[in-house]
Chain A
Amino acid sequence: MSETDSTTIRVPILARVEGEGALDLVIKDRQIESLALRIYEPPRYFEKFLEGRSVDELPEMVARICGICPVAYQMSAVRAVESLFEGEITPWVAQMRRLFYCGEWIQSHSLHIHLLAAPDFLGHQHIISMATEYPDEVRRGLRLQGLGNRIIALLGGRSVHPVGARVGGFHHAPSKIAISELLLEAKRAVEDAEALLRWLVTLELPQEPQDFISVALDEAGVYPIMGEQIHSDAGLDLPIAEFEQHFEEHQVPHSTAFHALLDGEPYLVGPLARINLHHKRLLPAVQSLCKSLGIHFPSRNMFDSVIARGVELLQATHETVALLEQYHTPQQPWSEFRPKAGSAFAATCAPRGVLWHRYQINDQGIIQAARIVPPTSQNQARMEADLRYSLNQFGLEQEEEAIKRYGEQVIRNYDPCISCATHFLDLRLKRV
């Protein structure tokens, strides 16, 4: 294609992402003139309609932000309320929240690896066609996804918009019979997750190292799921209550989701960022399998995100087995919390990264103001920076179809959840 060629293509929908967005790209003289990840998922105004609601209604309402990671929203919300109110959760509740969250990681990571990402690396359009060539791999993936859903349903009654969580703990403690049934399945799932990781390392992933800042929560002594501090690999170590002093969201005209910056710079949240910061806290069994498979972190290659998800999935299945083995029936599955007026903060590790909540609450437990910063809006600026870099490396002289496909892959590395950030991606490429 000569430099004087001028072409405009419009691919109506980018598939295999959660939500509606588009990529607008203008290439002039073999250079990117403009690039915008355009999110047009309509806003749903959650932060506004939470005003005037009781904290008791929060778990039900915030879950509806995202069908794929409702547990993350519920856990950030109840932990925020508990950080302000007077009371204390029991060790049982802390363990069951970790189990609940492991279920969501297993479900979400498995869904992303098999339904959204793997077809890219295996030359398929979707999982249905992939299933004809890789039936065992697909079945294994769907089994893992099913396990994740069953863990969530154990504590939440169902996997999408679960109903078990409340301020102070859970409405209901699972029966020992339900625990022992799930334990059998979880033990088999460890083998599935190991086989999955062995398979993932055989995929031919593009090798494109680049510079970026990784940001993740820190949870004392363990691989983080809940968070107390916010860490970055550039030395940031911040209590979650001070998030707003360093992280700023701003509106860009092409998006209904805000762009977030850390001290003015794009940054990465999610599995790869977590593992870059905390790989030494993975369980010994997970570390040793990684070592034997030649998996090394930290990684600067965004395509290693799919490996990072596989590693976290294995970690979560091991943790699930351990948590189920230690299970005991509590006297009461929740503890009382007394309302108190003030600001409430919490952040947890959603499958896609840091999910930060802040509420202003009065002494009756009614929400006066809410602010929710989801992972995908934090990754948006980073995705645009990555696309600029990666498409240049890929070669802007390539065929449009190839550019489109590669751009979609770059975006999928971030597993964007556009419903969360506000959800269709279509690519409009213009050459001038």
Chain B
Amino acid sequence: MSRVANRPTVSVHKFSSCDGCQLAFLNMGEGLIDLAQQVEIVHFAEAGMVAPERATDITFVEGSVSTPEDQERIQQIRQRSGLLITIGACATSGGIQALRNLQGEDWRASLYATPETIASLATSTPISDHVKVDLELWGCPIRSEQLLPLLHDLLHGVQPGKMEEPLCQSCKRSGVICTVVSQGKPCMGPVTRGGCGAVCPRMGRDCYGCSGPIDHPNRAALERCLEGLGLLPDTIQRRFKMIHATQFGGDHRREKA
């Protein structure tokens, strides 16, 4: 593929994360080489491009804000970015490490002999808590199949579509057998955003919510369903607090009462 003239500039910045969403770029195979013809990748440290200070048209952010330095860095990145797009659970919701937001004790002290040398905030928070985010890609991890259409749309001046339907609809549309109905498994599909390719139900197992909640999840109804399947209250609560520690809400029942 020939190189596009006046290519838009792209950067990939990392915050607190497992690096797994950057792999949506690095696992594209030759697609990565093609992509580099269509956009100019100016900063992507793991891939070897290092220019964190450069302004870019499109900025992808992986990871959550969890240190005082992160708080400053995301502000600078926002100022230097045209579109800012968060990728993955950590950047969009705070990630699994936001489980620490739910407890009172300082975990630094129980893990490190000299906790004062560890620059870590008490909370892990999504990028949107700190700066304006233009687009969000949910998933843990995000997939190349989510990234490529998004980039394609952006390169052609089209407003990218949003994935808002629950996983259940992806399963129905692709003919995947329902794990709740057929096997009585405690599937999180009714409250979880699609976009993952229904990877868990395809394996005959229940979804555990890694793509995060749909915009208006009916948690109370799913809790009743899980109770009906025989899950203990503790187990049900844990299902809503895993990859997205704080995002599935929990107040629906109270609000309705």
Chain A positions 23-80 with a Cβ under 8 Å from a chain B Cβ: 40-45, 47-49, 53-54, 57, 60-61, 64-68, 70
Chain A positions 386-423 with a Cβ under 8 Å from a chain B Cβ: 417, 419, 423
Asked if A19 contacts B67 (CB within 8 A), the reply is no
Asked if A48 contacts B110 (CB within 8 A), the reply is yes
Q: Shortest CB–CB separation between residue A164 and chain B, in angstroms?
A: 6
B125 part of interface (Cβ distance < 8 Å): no
Across the interface, name the chain A residue whose C-beta is closest to B205.
A171
Asked if B140 contacts A64 (CB within 8 A), the reply is yes
Which of the candidate stretches B17-25, B75-83, B154-162, B166-174 sits at the interface with the other chain?
A: B17-25
Chain B contacts of A16 at CB under 8 A?
45-48
A-B interface contact total, Cβ < 8 Å: 181
Asked if A15 contacts B242 (CB within 8 A), the reply is no
Partner among B29, B97, B210 whose Cβ is within 8 Å of the Cβ of A145: B29
B203 part of interface (Cβ distance < 8 Å): yes
Asked if B14 contacts A171 (CB within 8 A), the reply is no
Q: Shortest CB–CB separation between residue A130 and chain B, in angstroms?
A: 9
B6 part of interface (Cβ distance < 8 Å): no
Chain A contacts of B33 at CB under 8 A?
127-128, 131, 138, 142
B219 part of interface (Cβ distance < 8 Å): no
Chain A positions 99-117 with a Cβ under 8 Å from a chain B Cβ: 111, 115-116
A339 part of interface (Cβ distance < 8 Å): no
B190 part of interface (Cβ distance < 8 Å): no
Partner among B22, B36, B47, B110 whose Cβ is within 8 Å of the Cβ of A67: B22
B180 part of interface (Cβ distance < 8 Å): no
Interface centre among B29, B46, B118 (most CB of A within 10 A): B46
Partner among B18, B24, B52, B208 whose Cβ is within 8 Å of the Cβ of A60: B208
In the complex, how many residues of chain A place their beta carbon closer than 8 angstroms to a beta carbon of chain B? 64
B254 part of interface (Cβ distance < 8 Å): no
Asked if B20 contacts A160 (CB within 8 A), the reply is yes
Across the interface, name the chain B residue whose C-beta is closest to A128.
B36
A340 part of interface (Cβ distance < 8 Å): no
A20 part of interface (Cβ distance < 8 Å): yes
Q: How far apart sit A14 and B26, CA to CA, in the bound complex (Å)?
A: 18
B41 part of interface (Cβ distance < 8 Å): yes
B182 part of interface (Cβ distance < 8 Å): no
A277 part of interface (Cβ distance < 8 Å): no
Q: How far apart sit A342 and B64, CA to CA, in the bound complex (Å)?
A: 35
Asked if A61 contacts B96 (CB within 8 A), the reply is yes
A280 part of interface (Cβ distance < 8 Å): no
A149 part of interface (Cβ distance < 8 Å): yes
Can you list 10 A-B pairs, Cβ within 8 angstroms, ordered by A?
Answer: A15-B50, A40-B69, A40-B119, A44-B16, A44-B66, A54-B238, A60-B242, A125-B48, A126-B48, A157-B199
Please name 11 further chain A to chain B contacts, defined as beta carbons within 8 Å, in addition to the given A16-B46, A64-B18, A171-B204, sorted by A numbering: A14-B45, A40-B119, A43-B111, A45-B107, A48-B100, A67-B18, A67-B19, A115-B26, A116-B48, A145-B29, A157-B203
